[in-house]
Amino acid sequence: MTTIKELSNLTGRRALITGATGGLGKVLADTLAELGADLILVDRPGSAFDGLRENLIERWGVKVECQLCDL
């Protein structure tokens, strides 16, 4: 059986994730990082990235930028 990881290689691509510190945002960030995408994580002021950036960099070796912004 072919996995999504085998079908998708996002190396060299960037992904913008809003609501990045919430449950779905964290899962999406981890999945896209696993596939090789560099990430721009956005969440509203008052949210805490609490090690999310460092965790993604350490686990997947991708570039991660974090921004607080109320979209």
Sign of the C-alpha dihedral computed for residues 25, 55, 8 and 14 taken in this order: positive
Which residue reads 């996995």 in tokens?
3
Give the CATH number for residue 16.
3.40.50.720
> What is residue 19's DSSP assignment?
S
In which domain, by residue range, is 55 found?
Answer: 4-68
Note the pTM of the prediction, 2 decimals.
Answer: 0.86
Rounded to an integer, what distance in angstroms lies between the CA atom of residue 13 and that of residue 1? 26
CA distances from 29 to 1, 5, 19 (A): 24, 14, 10
pLDDT, tens digit, for every residue of 1-60?
667 667 788 999 999 999 999 999 999 999 999 999 999 999 998 888 889 999 999 999
Count structural domains, the chain.
Answer: 1
